[in-house]
Amino acid sequence: MTEWRKSTYSVNGTDCVEVGHGIGLRDSKAPAAHIALGTDAWSAFLAAAKADKLAR
11-33 pLDDT per residue, tens: 776 678 888 887 888 888 888 88
Domain contains 34: yes
What pLDDT shows up at residue 13?
A: 64
Domain contains 55: no
What pLDDT shows up at residue 48?
A: 92
Number of domains present in the structure of the chain: 1
Domain contains 42: yes
Residue percentage of the chain with pLDDT more than 90: 7
State yes or no: pLDDT of 10 exceeds 80.
no
pLDDT level of residue 1 (50, 70, 90 thresholds): low
Half-sphere CA count of 22, side-chain side, radius 13 A: 3
Q: How far apart are CA 50 and CA 56, in angstroms?
A: 14
Structural domain harbouring 41: 4-50
Domain contains 15: yes
